[in-house]
Amino acid sequence: MISLFARLELGPIFRALMRNKIGALLIALQIALTLTIMVNAIFMMQERSQQMARPSGVDEANTFYLSNTIFAQNYNTQTSMQQDLQRIRQIPGVVAATQINAIPLSGGGWSMSLQTKAGDDVEGTGAAVYMVDEQGIAALGVELIAGDNFHNSDIGWRDVGSTKWPPKALISKALAEAMFEGNWKTALGKTVYIDNHQPVQITGIINTLQAPWNGWNGVERSMLVPQQLDGRGSRYFIRTEPGRRDELMPVIEKMLAETDRGRIIRNVTSMEQTRDKSYQEHQATNTILLTVIIVLTLITGFGIVGLAMFSINRRTRQIGTRRALGASQWQVMRYFMLENLLISTAGVVLGTAGAIALNIWLVSTFSMSPLSPVLLLIGVVALLIVGQLAVSYPALVASKISPATATRGRA
Amino acid sequence: MLTMNKISKSFITDDVATHALRDIQLHVNEGDFVSVTGPSGSGKTTFLNIAGLLETSTSGEYLLDGEDITKLNDSGRSRMRNQKIGFIFQSFNLIPDLNLFDNVDVPLRYRGLSASERKQRIEYHLDQVGLASRMKHLPSQLSGGQQQRVAIARALATSPRFLLADEPTGNLDSQMAQSVMSLLEDINKAGTTILMVTHDPSLAARAKRQIYIKDGHVSELTNKNSNLHVVGEA
Ligand SMILES: Nc1ncnc2c1ncn2[C@@H]1O[C@H](COP(=O)(O)OP(=O)(O)OP(=O)(O)O)[C@@H](O)[C@H]1O
Ligand SMILES: [Mg+2]
């Protein structure tokens, strides 16, 4: 053991480094900066990826929606909508269809506050509101985990200006937990209040259904109410048998357009498109962050190669002398790898402090969550490995310097 | 101690072959002090490099301390250099970033000695050359003669059997050259075999044995000592 440490030369390597501080210091700072930015960037990417990975609760692969805008005068909106839905449901391959007022993750929708007690000044819990009919659950593809679905007789029409709410609702598990102290099962059958005073009975609980706003911290809180909006604009939400969505999207669009020329059908959009659009910025940001990480790491790697090449060139005769004094090729190579390890260690120590400081600032400024120590550790190890890989080529070049350089100088 | 049998060395660059050494035939006994002279470019450094295992010969047989060098690989030669050979260079070749202590320490670490033994050897040998008090100094803080004495301490710290010096006084004024030369003579008296290349005829003459290299051929100049013999081309 003693002889191993003796041969490692850490002391002399360190002391020699201290005589050539500037280059080493610059590389250490570069490594520190890379670690600082890399770890926080990866952390931000992770947070976004986790957000994107949350299920919407909707059968996204097999659902789409379209909007129906009526322009004809003297038009019976209620009959025409009922007919549209009937026709859609009759098409082979369609599983379910419903009229809906808002689309999950689309960015636009309704929200209301629900209270466990009636009253004007009672704290409420915000929830996204989806107005659907008895096929709402099947059309969205959400899972009912307690209670019953709406019946056809529950569904009422709602005028555009109305503030009247139906007496029943299905709520998401997350909403139930938020209102009933984490115990969603107790929510079933309870009466809650919407718009301060209107009683609504919770007749069922659905597992997951996200709100239209992905950045909202209550994105998992949503409710379904048995209502259909009566107006000159409406949206149909349709679910097909697995794999038949793309084929049926144009079919249904064409069918609707042709059976009734008093309106136009627009914005035929799949749920997958909606998700992509919803997280477009997240994706773009992640791509930018990833690019920054890769570029920074490459620059650092090349910086290490450059510095090592420079210092090896400067030390050619010294390396030859070491070889003459008995250093093996491996010992020469190890010298430069250990030297890099010392520089990198200084860099990652500094970088760890930097990463934590940047994270503290991000947490306090953008209310991000604190950095995980595991990620920091991974970053440290990754940069040490990058350093060793980067220096291995120059170190190999150094190890090939002939011992005869000691007497002949540069060949 | 050292036997060269038909050692040749040629350098081939850009299709031009330089025959630096041609069929060298030489035997050096243990305890000898051999000086090597010859015109510039005659092959003296090449000869010394091959003798010190810094270069390999193109052909021929070389036995050092009974071991066939041509059979050793690179790491075998490194070990042999570290254990049996000490080097002194014309431009001292101290490592500028290390103080005197660390400089003398370099070959001892390659030897894998314990810290206490290394310390003891470094202090002893720096003391021998009169520089123990300047252990923490950098080479640049010393005169040329002092630097060469540190280099000698470094060469001797591994207790080599064989000391090779390529123009050890070439960068020194005559007074310093004299003191380095007498140091080498003391070392030789203590039993170390020395091979020294020099341009200075008066220093060469102080060696027990003188050889002369010209155009890659070795010949004997004088034969002051009866325990030597050389089989070379005249
Ligand atoms: N690496 C090399 N490549 C090509 N030729 C070389 C190489 N090293 C030495 N030579 C040639 O070999 C011959 C002998 O060189 P060497 O250095 O041994 O001479 P020297 O006697 O030490 O000269 P000096 O007194 O000038 O130091 C010279 O012609 C030299 O040019
Ligand atoms: Mg020479």
- Evaluate whether B129 touches B168 at the Cβ level (below 8 Å): no
* Residue from A10, A321, A330, A402 whose CB has the most chain B CBs within 10 Å, to mutate: A321
Q: Spell out, as residue ranges, where chain A has pLDDT lower than 70.
A: 1-7, 409-411
Tokens of A405: 């350089």
Residues on chain B bordering chain A, Cβ-to-Cβ distance under 8 angstroms: 45, 48-49, 52-55, 74-75, 78-79, 81-83, 87, 89-90, 93, 95-99, 102, 105-115, 118, 138, 154, 158, 166
Mutate to test the pocket of ligand 1, among B9, B16, B18 (most ligand atoms within 8 A of CB): B18
What gap in Å lies between CA B19 and CA B26, rounded to an integer?
Answer: 18
Tokens of A107: 């960015």
Residue B77 distance to chain A (closest CA, Å): 8
Longest dimension (CA), chain A: 105
Q: Does the pLDDT value for residue B83 go beyond 60?
A: yes
Give residue A8's pLDDT: 77
- Evaluate whether B23 touches B213 at the Cβ level (below 8 Å): no
* Residue from B87, B93, B118 whose CB has the most chain A CBs within 10 Å, to mutate: B93
- Give the closest residue (by CA) to ligand 1 atom 20: B41
What gap in Å lies between CA A404 and CA B20, rounded to an integer?
Answer: 14
What gap in Å lies between CA A25 and CA A23, rounded to an integer?
Answer: 5
What is the identity of the amino acid at B122? I
Give residue A9's pLDDT: 84
What is the identity of the amino acid at B167? E
DSSP state of B215: T
**Atom of ligand 1 lying closest to residue B213 CA:** 21
DSSP state of A184: G
A317 CB within 8 Å of a chain B CB? yes
- Evaluate whether A115 touches A192 at the Cβ level (below 8 Å): yes
What gap in Å lies between CA A266 and CA A167, rounded to an integer?
Answer: 33
Which residues in chain B are contacts of A12 at CB distance < 8 A?
98, 102, 105-106, 109
Q: Tell which A residues from 349 to 408 touch B, by Cβ distance under 8 Å.
A: 402-404, 406-408
In our burial notation (b when 16+ CB lie closer than 10 A, e otherwise), range B57-73 reads bbebebebbeeebeebe
Which residues in chain B are contacts of A15 at CB distance < 8 A?
97-99, 102
Q: List, in order of start, the domains of chain B with CATH numbers.
A: 2-93+159-231 (3.40.50.300)
DSSP-derived 3-state class of residue B188: helix
Those residues whose beta carbon sits under 5 angstroms from the ion ligand 2 are B 45
Closest CA to A269 of A390, A152, A103: A103
3-state helix, strand, coil split of chain A in percent (to 5) is 55, 20, 25
Quick one: how far is CA A403 from the chain centroid? Answer: 56
Give residue B226's pLDDT: 40
- Evaluate whether A12 touches A19 at the Cβ level (below 8 Å): no
Residue A278 distance to chain B (closest CA, Å): 60
pLDDT bucket at B224, cuts 50 / 70 / 90: low
Give residue A410's pLDDT: 47
Give residue B229's pLDDT: 46
Q: pLDDT digits over B2-37, tens only?
A: 999 999 999 988 888 889 999 999 999 999 999 999
Give residue B231's pLDDT: 45
Tell me which residue in A2, A11, A318 faces B95 most closely, judged by beta carbons: A318
Q: What is the pTM of this model?
A: 0.82
- Evaluate whether A114 touches A175 at the Cβ level (below 8 Å): yes
Determine which of A4-18, B162-176, B182-196 has the lowest per-residue pLDDT on average. A4-18
Q: Do B78 and A19 touch (CB under 8 A)?
A: no
Tokens of B175: 């007074």
What gap in Å lies between CA A190 and CA A180, rounded to an integer?
Answer: 10
Q: Give the residues surrounding ligand 1 with Cβ less than 6 Å away.
A: A 411; B 11, 13, 18, 20, 38, 40-46
Q: List all residues 6 or more positions away from B42 whose beta carbon is below 8 Å from its beta carbon.
A: B213, B214, B215, B216
> Residue B156: closest CA among chain A residues belongs to which residue?
A325
Give residue A7's pLDDT: 60
Torsion, CA A236, CA A237, CA A240, CA A243, rounded to 10: 120
- Strands B2-13 and B59-64 come out as antiparallel
**Residue A306 half-sphere exposure toward CB, CA atoms < 13 A:** 11
CA distances from B155 to A15, B26, B98, B148, B226 (A): 22, 24, 16, 10, 28
- Evaluate whether A325 touches A332 at the Cβ level (below 8 Å): no
What gap in Å lies between CA A308 and CA A333, rounded to an integer?
Answer: 11
Residue with tokens 């075999």: B193
Q: Tell which A residues from 186 to 245 touch B, by Cβ distance under 8 Å.
A: none
Question: DSSP secondary structure string, A126-146?
Answer: EEEEEEE-TTHHHHHTPPEEE
| Rg, chain B, Cα only | 18
What gap in Å lies between CA A213 and CA A110, rounded to an integer?
Answer: 10
Across the A:B interface, residue pairs with CB atoms under 8 Å apart total 105
Q: pLDDT digits over B89-137, tens only?
A: 999 999 999 999 999 999 999 999 999 999 999 999 999 999 999 999 9
